[in-house]
Amino acid sequence: MHKAINILLILLAFSLMANAQHPNLILTQQAVKEIRGSLGKYPLLDQTVENYQNKLKQALETDILVPVPKDPGGGYTHEKHKQNGKELYMAGILFQLTGDKVYVDFAHRMLKQYAALYPTLPLHPERKSNNPGKLFWQGLNESVWLVQVSQAYDCIYDALSAKERAYLEEHLFHPMVQFFTEENVRNFDIVHNHGTWCVAGVGMISYVMGDLKMVEKCLYSTRLDGSGGFMAQLEQLFSPDGYYTEGPYYQRYAMMPFILFAEAIQNNQPEKYIYQFRDGVIAKASNAILQLTYTNGRFFPINDALKEKTYLTQEMICNVDIAYSRFGHANGLLSIAEKHGEVLIAKAGLEVAKAVAEGKSQPFDWQSIELKDGANGDEGGIGILRAGSATDQLCILMKYAGQGMGHGHFDKLSISMFDNNQEILQDYGAARFLNTVQKEGGRYLPENKTWAKQTIAHNTLVVDGTSNFDGNLRVAQQQHADCFFFETDKMNSQVMSAKDHHAYPGVKMQRTIAMLQDSEMQKPIIVDLFRVKSDMEHQYDVPFYYQGHLIATNFEYKAYKDLRKTMGSDNGYQHLWLEAEAIPEQGSAQFTWLNDSRFYTITTITDANTQLLMGRIGANDPNFNLRNEPCLIVRQPKAGNHLFASVIEPHGVFDPTSEYTAQSSSKIKGIEVISDTDDATIVRITSQQGKHFLLMVANDKAEKNALHSVDTPKQTYQWTGPFKVEIENMGLTH
Amino acid sequence: MHKAINILLILLAFSLMANAQHPNLILTQQAVKEIRGSLGKYPLLDQTVENYQNKLKQALETDILVPVPKDPGGGYTHEKHKQNGKELYMAGILFQLTGDKVYVDFAHRMLKQYAALYPTLPLHPERKSNNPGKLFWQGLNESVWLVQVSQAYDCIYDALSAKERAYLEEHLFHPMVQFFTEENVRNFDIVHNHGTWCVAGVGMISYVMGDLKMVEKCLYSTRLDGSGGFMAQLEQLFSPDGYYTEGPYYQRYAMMPFILFAEAIQNNQPEKYIYQFRDGVIAKASNAILQLTYTNGRFFPINDALKEKTYLTQEMICNVDIAYSRFGHANGLLSIAEKHGEVLIAKAGLEVAKAVAEGKSQPFDWQSIELKDGANGDEGGIGILRAGSATDQLCILMKYAGQGMGHGHFDKLSISMFDNNQEILQDYGAARFLNTVQKEGGRYLPENKTWAKQTIAHNTLVVDGTSNFDGNLRVAQQQHADCFFFETDKMNSQVMSAKDHHAYPGVKMQRTIAMLQDSEMQKPIIVDLFRVKSDMEHQYDVPFYYQGHLIATNFEYKAYKDLRKTMGSDNGYQHLWLEAEAIPEQGSAQFTWLNDSRFYTITTITDANTQLLMGRIGANDPNFNLRNEPCLIVRQPKAGNHLFASVIEPHGVFDPTSEYTAQSSSKIKGIEVISDTDDATIVRITSQQGKHFLLMVANDKAEKNALHSVDTPKQTYQWTGPFKVEIENMGLTH
Ligand SMILES: [Ca+2]
Ligand SMILES: [Ca+2]
Ligand SMILES: [Ca+2]
Ligand SMILES: [Mg+2]
Ligand SMILES: [Mg+2]
Ligand SMILES: [Mg+2]
Ligand SMILES: [Mg+2]
């Protein structure tokens, strides 16, 4: 009878725990077998394992320390608990790969210390009010810790006795889950990336402990009604294109809990079809974040962003490997994995390491792409045009998205340009030195608000020296710009156009960016048409934050040689030194600079009122927090309706190694407006050789079948669709 | 009888032409055999040959053009003749390697066109007066052309008939030799690198034509008395250490004719023992120029120098390969050859390609080294201290050489510092944009004189706001600084000290630079003792042109936030904006900046009079010719004798990829002077942990056996030799 009951219990347990084999979160039992059989075959895999072994070697030789939490970010106890989390993770992985009990022993001893400590802890003494932790000052760090440690526990689960497990769960994991889901429930249920880390951590440890009821709370909120939790986050935080409204810098970080928890769900409850959810939004987000990089690996630094961030960060190892494994084995991902020099220890990472070893790696497939913003994809977006191979790609980005919450910048219709693996027209990014205590403890600097967020800090229109929405976040957050059209079917003429009617009351803006390729030009040229409409007169400024060294202008200017003043007193202008100013002749002003091994020229239309200002960032910066970088500002001091029409042109070569310099001057002679009405704009660009580039752009109807007709005294221009490009060779001009 | 005479003539010819096998200049007949047998085996060799083939492919398919010379440097005819010279060279080489007559035919047809044109040419219409050419505006370019084309002719010599050769020699090569040795004889006989190119070209073509009498003129001047020519150049232009007085930028270029002509002499007249001449000065120069680079491959930019130049230039391919082959097969050279991706097609290049393929490559062996200046090695020199591997090397250079002729800067006792593959304390280099027409035609810019050459543009002492020798080249050229001692036997304490008594009349300067390593410090620290003596009071300025972003100071300063003025009106000060100034408290002022992934702090002693100025280059620069880079200036406004004592310290890590920042603050607490007399200086550096570093330096007697004794109220310090370092751990300071 006893025996029968035992058998029954065992059978029952088996059925309840059908999926409860271990490990089964990110690394699975099946993958462990395959990885064990693959060691010594695939360099990326071997390097990763060796790297883990080296890192753990020292840890195994020294005492385990689990200090009472005391310090904020960067301090000793903070860094120690972070490090312990990583060591637990690596120990778990290495136990699975090697079977060496020394790793179990290490992880178990450390976890027991945590189990002894955790129940005694009050809230962290340095806690932040809106998301406190116990081990860490921020609940965010505690969630990250749990995401790692749940994987460690999963890996050593079967090597512990039921009693040992019961002790850890009772004293550490259950209390931690309880803390997240009860005391700190506000953060658990919030639709925000902090919430994602939280539900991922709780969800993953709950899978390990077999608590599927708790997993449901992670997916649908503690209320189980979908008003919060992972599914709501997937629903609301990404646009249908997989764009995350705060921008790439924050999306990079947010991707990790999204993709790891999704992987855990897929491995444990494939019946949830998590990767199919919302037309595969996780795959889309995973692709979007990589498309939001340039060929040098850097994320586009829109909004608050540290420019140094590249796709080499830890988050992107998970993202790239899982994307490869789950979303179609695109060989372009492998070239990024090679740069990682490391893989995720899981089926995904094994597949990547194997494919790389088999020579399947190809350059990543950067594309011209539009990523719509907003949960419904109807709140503008980001447009990216590209041309050329990964080794020398011209890329221009226009931002016509929503504000992007508290980390958003007032930068409607701003552009950034990249070429030759360099930043050519920059977005300043954030004013911040990460984790550097002397710079306001590593937090955002005051100049992030007074400079980096302001409209004048961007390559876009500033009206009357003020920022979009007068710098008011609450107002800005309710509005967004709109895509007018985005057409990249023809490689030789890719064009995007966007509008904003909200950023400046009474002012309507439309910016059209065309990337036009022609055999006469070394690389495609960028045509930039910025159309402004207002019934009132305003001062209009359009800055270009060129990166590099000024080489020449075709206009005379007055330089402030020995006395320098600021450009203004607020809204960011107080941070700009006025270095020179000009009143150019009417026609086309040209401004040439050198960046790395190539020259660039802006050719811009000037009228009788145009002023050109040359500036440099760094005024009113007593703590030397800003980078002292230059700009050219095109100013119309008094205008109602106005069309800023410019060409931005890469040209020539500067090669000091072989002492070779060529084509340091522009191949463009000038640019003229043929017609500019509410229906359409036509401009003509003339090359030095006399070739004409005619660009016709719709301003009102962007439909593909809409017919446009423009009469001029000389000619009638007709076309169908949002734009047309005509290139005519008129012979040498005189 | 006829037959007998024929045989006799043949025998006679054979004896006269004993060495006249072809090719035998740089590429030799024996090497051709070996290279042919090695094709397909060594990637560097194959890549080079393939590269030549690709480059010539297009040339072979298009018409040969030999235009009448018309344009100056950068213009069409100039570039075309340059290109033709390179194509001739490659065609000759490829004929030897492949035996394909198409290359002979191409080279022969082109040479015939030159032979038809050359005798008709007057001096070049755009000629420079001091060294005119016929094919080129400068005789220099014509010499370079001949160095290449003589090798081409050597390669196809045996494939042409005697009649064909006679035509080319009569119409092209003899007239060209005549032009160089008669019309332009001044340049042929001059002891200057332009003369070296000239004798190399003439000497090499003369070897090919078998004119050994002309070779003698190349070696000993047209007067044959050694007053000019190659041997005089070897004797006078290099110091016994192989340092070239104009500095690395010019030495790099000059090495090519020196090493190529030497190789041709060795191959044709080994009895000259050219590589043994002057204790092997060619080998020493060849090594010196590589030691004058940092680990990023860049040449130290002292004097007029373009900073972008690296050891990847064409000259350095010859230099590295021949150095490997001739001077001891140092495997460290192979790592540079790998970066070249190309070898010299000759025995030297074959050996390099083979050794690389055999995996013999090792990191280049950068050393702490002193290179004495002056033909006799008694005119000061360059001292270079290094520590750490090629991947993360700390390097500091002090310049105490002669002026270096017209391209020299007024920079006595100036230092430059490098670390972590970056420039940390910069020498500005030259103000010039190579070959960029809009920037004064690519020539040196006016700011090269008004800024780059001035003393204030360097990390050294400026007295009373004037430059060394009041900026007078003629006076400066007659003087030099002197080495006091240079000691690098102990890796943990490398010290160099130099003196100058001429740059400022009535002011004696001594600078001592110590690189001290201790386990408490992450990397070695640099101690910088700048001792100044004068009977009169002066203003003393010592600038530090730090590269990177200011992070923190331990002193209060007044920032010129919204109005900015220049630091002075002449001698370079007019180009500096005053950004901030401070009167620090007495003790130790600290200034921390971030460069790439590491922090750096200067800790400097301050007294009651010390002023600190923060400046930025770029004032009075209406054409935007200067880079806007920052500096810290330590000023003693009124002092006779003064000791500037500073520590420059690399510390910490800034890693945005892994979001990790550590030790952004200095580990140094302060620096004090224990004693400073004409006999010796003693300073004590105290770390934050309370460790004391005591540095004792002789000021008068640098002999290794000289005994020094310094009494202070507390203690007597005694040591033997030029310096002593003592490290005492005194426990935590309070
Ligand atoms: Ca305002
Ligand atoms: Ca003077
Ligand atoms: Ca003067
Ligand atoms: Mg921004
Ligand atoms: Mg809408
Ligand atoms: Mg200099
Ligand atoms: Mg002397």
Q: Report which DSSP code applies to B616.
A: E
Q: Which protein residues have their CB within 5 A of the ion that is ligand 3?
A: B 570-571
Q: Residues A95, A159: contact at Cβ < 8 Å?
A: yes
In the residue annotation, B407 being an active-site residue is answered as yes
Q: Which of A22, A81, A407, A502 is catalytic?
A: A407
Distance CA A129, CA B290 (A): 59
Q: Which of A207, A237, A267 is the last residue of a domain?
A: A237
DSSP string, B473-491: HHHHHT-B-EEEEEE-SST
Average pLDDT of span B75-79 = 89
Give the pLDDT score at B4: 54
Q: Are A434 and B656 a contacting pair at CB < 8 A?
A: yes
Ligand 6 centre distance from Cα of residue B502 (Å)? 19
Residue B356 counted as domain residue: no
Strand partners, B397: B384, B416
The residue annotated as part of the active site, out of B52, B244, B249, B250, is B250
| Min Cα separation B166/chain A (Å) | 35
Whether A436 sits inside 8 A of B654 (CB atoms) is yes
CB contact under 8 A, B436 and A661: yes
Average pLDDT rounded to a whole number, residues A44-53: 98
Instruction: Decide if A568 contacts A613 (C-beta within 8 A).
Output: no
Asked, for residue B277, whether it belongs to a domain, the answer is: no
d(CA A295, CA A291): 10
In the predicted model, what is the mean pLDDT of chain B?
95
**A183/A273 same-domain check:** no
Between A29-43, A65-79, B665-679, the lowest mean confidence (pLDDT) is in A65-79
| A390 and A321 fall within a common domain | no
Q: In a mutagenesis test of the A interface, which of B141, B579, B591, B664 is the best target, namely the one with the most A β-carbons within 10 Å? A: B664
pLDDT for the residue A435 = 83
Search chain A and give the residue with CA nearest B75.
Answer: A662
* Ligand 1 center from residue A529 Cα (angstroms): 27
Residue A29: which H helix or E strand, with range?
Answer: helix A29-36
When pLDDT is averaged across residues A161-170 and rounded to a whole number, the result is 98
CB contact under 8 A, A433 and B616: no
Residue A229 shares a structural domain with residue A261 = no
pLDDT at site B73: 80
- Domain check: are A55 and A160 in the same one? yes
Q: How far is CA A515 from CA A42, A154, A290, A518, B488, in A?
A: 42, 52, 22, 10, 58
| Res. A4: pLDDT tops 60 | no
Tell me the β-bridge partners of B693. Answer: B685, B727
Residue B663 to chain A, least CA–CA distance (Å): 9
pLDDT tens figures, B478-510: 999 999 999 999 999 999 999 999 999 999 999
- Return the CATH number at B87: 1.50.10.100
Average the pLDDT over each of A17-26, A131-140, A562-571, B190-199 and give the range with the smallest value: A17-26
Of B407, B480, B502, B708, catalytic:
B407
- B476 CA from centroid of ligand 2 (Å): 12
Establish if A2 belongs to a structural domain. Answer: no
Q: Give chain B positions within 8 Å (CB) of A620.
A: 561-562
Q: How far is B582 from chain A (nearest CA, A)?
A: 13
Compute the average pLDDT of residues B697-723.
Answer: 96
Query: Residue B260 falls within a domain, yes or no?
Result: no
Q: Where would I find the beta strands (DSSP E) of B127-255?
A: none
pLDDT at A75: 82
CB pair distance less than 8 Å for B551 and A627 = no
B552 contact residues in A (CB cutoff 8 A) = 438-439
Cβ contacts of A336 on chain B, cutoff 8 Å: none
Of A562, A620, A628, the CB nearest to B561: A620
* Chain A residues in contact with B442 (beta carbon < 8 A): 661
- What is the reported pLDDT for A731? 54
* Chain center to CA of A218: 26
Which chain B residues have a beta carbon less than 8 Å from that of A550? 624
Establish if B373 belongs to a structural domain.
Answer: yes
- Is the N-terminal amide bond of B23 cis, ω within 30° of 0? yes
Report the alpha-carbon distance of residue B307 to residue B247 in Å, rounded.
13
Structure tokens at A147: 């995401």
How many pairs of residues across A and B have Cβ atoms under 8 Å apart?
A: 124
The stretch B647-668 carries a mean pLDDT of: 92
Give me the residue from B312, B438, B630 closest to A664, CB to CB.
Answer: B438
Number of domains in chain B: 2
Please judge whether A308 and B660 are an interchain contact, meaning their C-beta atoms are less than 8 angstroms apart: no
| Ion ligand 7: residues, CB < 5 A | B 378
Chain segment B194-252, per-residue pLDDT in tens: 999 999 999 999 999 999 999 999 999 999 999 999 999 999 999 999 999 999 999 99
- What does R_g of chain A's alpha carbons equal in angstroms? 29
Same domain, A199 and A253: no
Q: How confident is the model at residue A656 (pLDDT cuts 50, 70, 90)?
A: confident
Summarize the confidence of residues B388-403 as an average pLDDT. Answer: 97
Q: What is the CATH classification number for the domain harbouring B475?
A: 2.70.98.70
Q: Kind and range of the H or E element at A551?
A: strand A549-553
Active site residue B501: no
Instruction: List the alpha helices (DSSP H) in A524-569.
Output: none
Residue type, B618: G
Cross-chain Cβ contact B436/A657 below 8 Å: no
Identify the pLDDT of residue B72.
Answer: 84
CB contact under 8 A, B313 and A564: no
**Which of A342, A365, A388 corresponds to the end of one domain?**
A365
A619/B314 CB distance under 8 A: no
Identify whether the C-beta of residue B1 lies closer than 8 Å to the C-beta of residue B7: no
Taking CB atoms and an 8 Å limit, are A438 and B577 in contact across chains?
Answer: no
* pLDDT recorded at residue A15: 42
Determine, yes or no, domain membership for B161. yes
Does one domain contain both A188 and A204?
yes
Ligand nearest to the CA of residue B374, numbered in listed order: 7
Show the domain range for A341: 241-365
pLDDT value at residue B435: 83
CA dist., res. A654 & res. B436, Å (int) = 8
**pLDDT tens string A201-252:** 999 999 999 999 999 999 999 999 999 999 999 999 999 999 999 999 999 9
What percent of chain B has pLDDT above 70?
Answer: 97
pLDDT band at B5; cut points 50, 70, 90: low
Asked if A308 lies within 8 A of B580 by C-beta distance, the reply is no
Give every CB contact of residue A592 below 8 A, 6+ residues apart in sequence. Answer: A550, A551, A552, A553, A599, A600, A601, A664, A665, A666, B438
Domain contains A5: no
> Can you tell me the distance from the alpha carbon of B616 to that of B629, in angstroms, rounded to the nearest whole number?
5
Mean pLDDT score of chain A, rounded to an integer?
95
Angle at B659 between CA B656 and CA B665, to 5 degrees: 80
Distance A606 CA to ligand 2 centre (A): 50
Q: Which of B312, B551, B566 sits opposite A439 (nearest CB)?
A: B551
Tell which of B307, B311, B549 to mutate to test the A interface (max A CBs under 10 Å).
B549
Average pLDDT over residues A416-436: 96
What is the per-residue pLDDT for A13? 45
Q: Examine the pLDDT at B13 and tell me if it is beyond 60.
A: no
Three-state DSSP class for residue A507? strand
Tens of pLDDT, residue by residue over B368-382, are 999 999 999 999 999
Q: Among A14-23, A316-325, A417-426, which stretch is predicted with the lowest mean pLDDT?
A: A14-23
Q: Is the pLDDT of residue B6 over 80?
A: no
Centre of ligand 2 to C-alpha B715, Å, is 41
pLDDT at B2: 58
Instruction: Give CA–CA dist A211/A732, Å, rounded.
Output: 78
Closest approach of A577 to chain B, Cα-based (Å): 8
Tokens in use for B234?
């070897």
- Cβ separation B436–A561 shorter than 8 A: no
Please indicate, yes or no, whether residues A359 and A373 belong to a single structural domain of this protein.
no
Cα(B465) to centroid(ligand 2), Å = 9
pLDDT tier at A20, thresholds 50, 70, 90 = low
User: How much of chain A, in percent, has pLDDT values that exceed 90?
Assistant: 92
A580 and A637 inside one domain: yes
A592 neighbourhood in chain B, CB within 8 Å: 438
Write down the residue that tokens 């752009």 correspond to: A697
Q: Look up residue B448 and give its DSSP letter.
A: I
Domain termination site, one of A345, A365, A385: A365
Q: Mark whether A561 and A687 lie in a shared domain.
A: yes
Instruction: Give contacts of B437 with chain A, Cβ < 8 Å.
Output: 664-665
Query: Residue A631's Cα: distance from chain center in Å?
Result: 24
Set of chain A residues whose Cβ sits within 8 Å of the Cβ of B436: 551, 594, 654, 661, 664
Q: What is the distance in angstroms between the Cα of B525 and the nearest Cα belonging to chain A?
A: 22
Confidence of residue B657 (pLDDT cuts 50, 70, 90): confident
Ligand nearest to the CA of A455: 4
What percentage of chain B reaches a pLDDT higher than 90?
Answer: 92
pLDDT of residue A282: 98
Q: What percent of chain A has pLDDT over 70?
A: 97
pLDDT of residue A130: 82
Domain-located, residue A182: yes
The mean pLDDT of B526-547, rounded to a whole number, is: 98
Is the pLDDT at B1 greater than 80, yes or no? Answer: no
For testing contact with chain B, the best of A561, A566, A623 (most B CBs within 10 A): A561
- For the cut 50, the answer to whether the pLDDT of residue A11 exceeds it is no
Q: What pLDDT is attached to residue B395?
A: 98
The answer to whether the CB atoms of A436 and B664 lie below 8 A apart is yes
Average pLDDT over residues B619-634: 98
**β pairing state of A680-687 and A691-698:** antiparallel
Give the pLDDT score at B734. Answer: 40
What integer pLDDT is reported at residue B695 of this predicted model? 98
Give the pLDDT score at B64.
Answer: 97
Q: What distance in Å separates residue B8's CA from the closest CA in chain A? A: 51
